A and B are shown apart, each in its own frame.
Chain A
């Protein structure tokens, strides 16, 4: 009996520390996302299907895709998702492009940290000026493949960085209610091992990334360590074991960079990044979102 008790204790401790838990908090998914994005109204009369998602690899157009595409019959009314200022940008063979500067605090004064919503391929646009949330700003177009291109963006021109539109995926079954959006899923931490499922899914089947690389640091420090490529397993599972990398009890931050074979910004990140930051996390002051766990 005396010999059995320590054995039972050891087994109990192993069971205690081996449970699988979600490794992230949802706020990290939205790190660096502008305020109020979760409170946006819909840009079309209904929560339309996302036919092409943010950061999606694709054979034509911007690659990966900047912004999202929402299916809409030509002439469908388009609405402001928040209050702010509408400005015409330009017209081209695909329609009219417009930008909308968000009035974050709704006070009618341009005193906010500016960010924008861009609407492309419009059929027509109403007058420049101030609009409240939910007001008509134009109609959708692109006759040969009707849709609205839409998204949050850091500046009101074509050169800004595009943000993800989480709220637009939530209401449709497309893309598995948004779970197939950011190229990764099921991030876990178990027995000092960080793991996630990473794949790309465009309009065809899933395919594996060309590289899945992990970065980490001791919590509270600023320099990221390149942990190298993660170990790949079956069903697009990738893992990295931190045992021996840090002393027991150390709180660490980690994040994953997932690469695909495209020429234009080929990276997706876990946690998701809302603009498209430098692939070297030590090369910029961009405040990368990360996961945080404790090494045993």
Chain B
């Protein structure tokens, strides 16, 4: 009897242990992924693990628009740059550290007028209270007047409105002003455009005579300077040039220029230095320049390197974008004009990038890449801690018939991940958070 009792106790103990393991395993999986909803939540602002998000359009919304235009052919006339009234307006929510979504409304709305070549446009904005600051965003982030986008300052309190004929700044007092000159070498935008059309008309290319007064403007980290490219000074010689606009002094200055070459600024690596690509005869090189134009080219390992992102003076890049599976992370070495590699890895798949992709976490201690892991469109994420070199592989999804669309760092231990669910048409995007500390690390 005594032996039977011991045996039973042992079995019970084993059973409890097994049950505990299963339970722990289940809970671990559940705590990795937390569903925010069947909405496509996109980040407007984020700080300290909190984010203000809005509901972006789904493919079903776009179908409704098409169906409404089918029933009422004249309706699209009312929708030019306005959200159609057949779909819901965007909603705004605060996503908290605890993964809660709280409704939030703008505390104020304001409108401004600005000029784009010959037309006067009106733009409307929301003001939100976020993380103790008043921050601004277009009233409808997806339906706005901004052909070339709206660019928030790093603290979200200001913003840039690029137009073909000049750059406008909305300051923290909600006033708009043009910060670029209307004249270059004595000529206005329209006159320079005519010159460009004349130059290209001989080869039948006058349609493509676009003058970009300021392309791809980017704030530096403290919001005091802006870098952009322009071709207003390159009409005859081809290519474009890089300019800096100092918001404090009000001065605009060209810093990089080379005939027939095109620059594309990637990021500010600190408040006074930019990282840029230079395309010359179809070949790309990378360079770092300060705001006076003192620059040097950096040598990256690999046949066709492609930079994925930076954090300060750390860069993550592919050694060959034609076979995008070999990653390198390094720190810029200004003295040797090279990168000191601190990590490299060949992954089992091909890396993919998207418009707002930021590989590094908030403090730069980790980075992540999304990669195609099979031919049927399965995507995985691999996250790497650059201190410990520990890796986290996200290759299991909480639902079937879905794939990872993209991801965004909310803080150093959590991601916002969008899943594309394609079991039914139209496919929909659902939003999830993924907690690194809850997963199988």
Contact = CB atoms under 8 A, between A and B. Distances in A.
A130 B355 contact: no
A161 interface: no
Contacts of B350: 127, 129
B147 A106 contact: no
Contacts of A26: 66, 69-71, 73
B66 to A, nearest CB: 4
A129 B372 contact: yes
B119 A173 contact: yes
A59 interface: yes
B377 A83 contact: yes
A33 B81 CA distance: 24
Nearest to A174: B147
Contact of A107 (B206, B263, B377, B406): B377
B80 interface: yes
B323 interface: yes
Contacts of B148: 46
B70 A74 contact: no
Contacts of A45: 149, 355
Interface in B206-251: 206-210, 212, 215-216, 229, 231, 238-240
Interface in B63-104: 63, 65-66, 69-71, 73-74, 76, 80-81
A231 B196 CA distance: 41
A124 B281 CA distance: 11
Given A79-B355, A126-B322, A141 B282 contact: yes
B62 A39 contact: yes
Contacts of A126: 321-322, 324
A135 B406 CA distance: 9
B149 A135 contact: no
Given A124-B282, A144-B203, A79 B354 contact: yes
Contacts of B426: 36, 39
Nearest to A126: B321
Contacts of B240: 73-74
Contacts, number: 168
A75 B279 contact: yes
Contacts of B379: 132
A130 B62 contact: no
B106 interface: no
Interface string A52-85: 1000001111000000010101111101000100
Interface string B389-431: 0000000000001010110000000000000101001110000
Interface string B338-371: 0000000000001011110000000000000000
A25 B73 contact: yes
A295 to B, nearest CB: 21
A189 B99 CA distance: 56
A108 B377 contact: yes
A262 to B, nearest CB: 14
Interface in A147-180: 147, 170-173, 177
A125 to B, nearest CB: 8
Contact of B207 (A36, A52, A73, A131): A52
A164 to B, nearest CB: 14
Contacts of B353: 77, 135-136
Contacts of A109: 376
Given A51-B208, A127-B322, A143-B238, A171 B147 contact: yes
A22 B355 contact: no
> For this complex, into which size category does the number of interface residues on chain B fall?
35 or more
B19 interface: no
B425 A105 contact: yes
B231 A73 contact: yes
Nearest to A83: B377
A90 interface: no
A234 to B, nearest CB: 23
Residue from B324, B354, B372 whose CB has the most chain A CB atoms within 10 Å: B354
Contact of B372 (A46, A130, A143): A130
A49 B352 contact: no
A22 B73 CA distance: 7
Nearest to A172: B147
Residue from B238, B352, B375, B427 whose CB has the most chain A CB atoms within 10 Å: B352
Nearest to B404: A132
Interface string A93-108: 0010000000101111
A143 B239 contact: yes
B264 interface: yes
Contact of B73 (A24, A71, A123, A147): A24
A34 interface: no
A71 B208 contact: yes
B284 A124 contact: yes
A134 interface: yes
A38 interface: yes
B38 interface: no
Contact of A106 (B119, B322, B427): B427
B415 to A, nearest CB: 17
Given A24-B73, A73-B215, 18 more contacts: A22-B74, A30-B66, A36-B59, A38-B65, A38-B66, A69-B207, A75-B277, A106-B422, A108-B378, A124-B282, A124-B304, A127-B322, A129-B350, A143-B260, A145-B208, A146-B208, A146-B262, A171-B147
Top 10 nearest A-B pairs by Cβ distance?
A60-B204, A108-B377, A145-B208, A108-B376, A106-B422, A74-B262, A75-B264, A145-B205, A26-B69, A71-B210
25 contacts: A26-B73, A38-B65, A39-B63, A49-B147, A49-B210, A52-B207, A58-B204, A73-B229, A73-B240, A73-B262, A74-B279, A83-B420, A95-B282, A108-B378, A127-B350, A130-B377, A132-B352, A134-B355, A143-B262, A144-B203, A145-B205, A147-B210, A171-B81, A173-B119, A203-B207
